[in-house]
Amino acid sequence: MIKLRSIIGCLILTVEATLGMQLELKSDATLTTSEMTLGDLIQSMEDGRQDYWNLSLGLSPALGTERVYSRDLIERAIRNRIGKTEITWNGTQSVRVSRPARTVLESEIKSVIMQQLAVLIGEKQGVIVHEVPGFSPFMIPAGEIEFQMDFASSTNQSSWSSVVMRVMSKGDSVLTKSFRFRWSWMKTAWIATQNKAAGDLLGMSDFKSVTLDLLQQPPGVFTATMLPSESTLGRNIAAGKALMMNDFKPRVVVKKGSSVFVHYQVSGVSVSMQGVALEDGARGNMINIQNPSSRKRMLARVVDESNTIYAN
């Protein structure tokens, strides 16, 4: 038993002897993250394990401040985390650690929210952030940073919304903030200048283009820089009302029962035949045509009032 204890004691001494490292501190270190590691503070390390470079020593100095860390302070932090170890020091006696920062103002947050809203709705223009109520300037790490935004699910349906913003530095999240904001989504829409009846063609003389905030309008407003071509109203619309997506439909070019020419090619030769439209069709629609002699049906694309192209 005594011999066994002696062997165990020798093994412990041998292990403890191997738990040593030779360190040299930097004179200055600049950090961007809230956690400080041994690798952030040392210039070189000999004998220690490679994973000691990532050994956490606790929190970094507060944003915009600096602090001097002595060898003794660093040594205590190391032993608190890995236990008893032999440390030999070279070089400087301490390291000055700084954590540079800058202040974020409301104007910058508005700009960032506008950029991210443009990505959210797929529009490069027309986004205006009016206010971020209760905003207070705050500090973020200096240098290259990235803003990541998580908007509320109803953002593109309401003038008031909220967002959770994460500030990222070198892939690490260093700060999270939440904001409420009021915004507008401005788009070109069309207002009727006079009363129009169902079946009327849409024309530039009957509508004027205006810029509207979609978030202040009912869903379904027609937005485009031009009126839809060859379209007719599906219902009455009063002067002063915005044109809605369900207010119009493509104009029927070929009516059911009308006679049309069907054009197609056979072995490189163009052939035309007469047929009867079995359904209404707007320009570009595919409709069924019937050969009046054979009664055979075929599918053809409407070109104009009297011509279609066989979809063979």
Domains along the chain with CATH numbers: 16-99 (2.60.480.10), 103-184 (no CATH), 186-251 (3.90.1210.10), 253-310 (2.30.30.760)
Residue with token string 């000055």: 96
User: pLDDT at position 7, please?
Assistant: 41
User: pLDDT at position 6, please?
Assistant: 45
Please list the rounded mean pLDDT of every run of 10 residues in the chain (312 residues): 44 46 94 90 89 92 94 93 90 95 96 96 94 96 91 95 93 90 97 94 92 94 92 94 94 89 85 90 89 90 83 72
Closest of 117, 17, 128, 35 to residue 81, by C-alpha: 35
Round to whole Å and give the CA distance between 218 and 205: 24
User: pLDDT at position 19, please?
Assistant: 57
Round to whole Å and give the CA distance between 137 and 297: 72
Secondary structure string (H, E, C) spanning the chain = CHHHHHHHHHHHHHHHHHCEEEEEECCEEECCCCEEEHHHHEEEEECCCHHHHHCEEEECCCCCCEEEEEHHHHHHHHHHHHCCCEEEEECCCEEEEECCEEEECHHHHHHHHHHHHHHHHCCCCCEEEEECCCCCCEEEECCCCEEEEEECCCHHHCCEEEEEEEEEECCEEEEEEEEEEEEEEEEEEEEECCCECCCCECCHHHEEEEEEEHHHCCCCECECCCCCCCEEECCCECCCCECEHHHEEECEEECCCCEEEEEEEECCEEEEEEEEECCCEECCCEEEEECCCCCCEEEEEECCCCEEEECC
Give the dihedral of Cα atoms 171, 172, 176, 180; nearest 10 deg. 0
User: pLDDT at position 83, please?
Assistant: 86
Residue with token string 């990541």: 148
Closest of 245, 255, 179, 258 to residue 217, by C-alpha: 245
User: pLDDT at position 2, please?
Assistant: 46
